[in-house]
């Protein structure tokens, strides 16, 4: 039986589902209603759950750990993902992504190789991540260090949210690093590299827009002359 709990920590509402010691789903929201709804959406509809009252101490401790992760403290990050409630490919993808430390990012393609999967499957898994913040999906970016998308969305608000989260995790790591995962090496890059690439892309876009505006202004001037 999967146990569920929704509990407030400071200004956060943490929801989680656990099968014994294994995490099935975790969510962080701004209200009890949102956390309850989002947690339910992460679980299969047929799954039997129970909410013990009062909750077991291990569930309370798990909630507190998830809250610390959301606030940026990963010093005591401990977890075990549920093999019973994740497919084999999802378990490998989330298991690899969960190991990306604060201050680093990796790419969809690199994560796919370490999880013995494909970049497209990694993209789907990150977009539907049911284990945030244990699985820091915002630390997975495009091969050119572009933000690509966040939370299954690619609009400006989503990309800005991803950029802001990464900006808060700058740790001044001097160079790339590697994690050994299942006989492969997952490359990790300083988060600053992604932020720099994003700013450069924004600058190029602004310059292109400026050029278009100049061409349009010149065209209007020519029309005025004639």
Q: Could you tell me the two tokens for 207?
A: 């310059």
In which element (H, E) is residue 206 found?
helix 191-225
Q: What residue spans define the domains of the chain?
A: 2-70, 88-202
Q: What is the pLDDT of residues 210-221, one digit of tens each?
A: 454 555 655 655
pLDDT confidence of residue 156: 87
pLDDT band at 207 (very low <50, low <70, confident <90, very high): very low
- Quick one: pLDDT at residue 220? 58
C-alpha gyration radius of the chain: 21
**Residue 222 CB contacts under 8 Å (≥ 6 apart), including other chains:** none
Burial class (CB in 10 A: 0-12, 13-18, 19+), 77: middle
Please give the CATH number for the structural domain made up of 88-202: 1.10.10.10
- Catalytic entry in 137, 140, 141, 186: 137
Catalytic residue at 137? yes
- Output the furthest CA–CA distance in the chain (Å, rounded): 81
């Amino acid at each position: 039986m999967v146990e569920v709990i929704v509990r407030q920590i400071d200004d956060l509402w943490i929801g989680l589902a656990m099968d014994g010691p294994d995490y099935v789903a975790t969510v962080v929201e701004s209200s009890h209603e949102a956390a309850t709804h989002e947690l339910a959406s992460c679980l299969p509809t047929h799954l039997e759950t129970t909410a013990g009252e009062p909750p077991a101490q291990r569930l309370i401790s798990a909630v507190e750990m998830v809250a610390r992760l959301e606030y940026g403290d990963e010093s005591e990050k401990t977890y075990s993902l549920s093999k019973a409630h994740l497919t084999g490919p999802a378990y490998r993808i989330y298991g690899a992504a969960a190991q990306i430390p604060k201050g680093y990012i990796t790419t969809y393609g690199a994560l796919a190789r370490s999880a013995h999967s494909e970049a497209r499957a990694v993209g789907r898994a990150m977009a539907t991540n049911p284990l945030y913040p244990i699985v820091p999906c915002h630390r997975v970016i495009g091969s050119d260090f572009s933000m690509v998308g966040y939370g299954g969305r690619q609009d400006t608000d989503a990309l800005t949210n991803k950029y802001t989260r990464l900006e808060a995790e700058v740790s001044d790591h001097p160079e790339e690093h590697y994690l050994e995962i299942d006989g492969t090496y997952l490359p990790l890059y300083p988060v600053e590299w992604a932020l720099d690439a994003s700013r450069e892309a924004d600058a190029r876009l602004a310059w292109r827009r400026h050029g278009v505006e100049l061409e349009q202004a010149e065209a209007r001037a020519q029309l005025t002359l004639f």
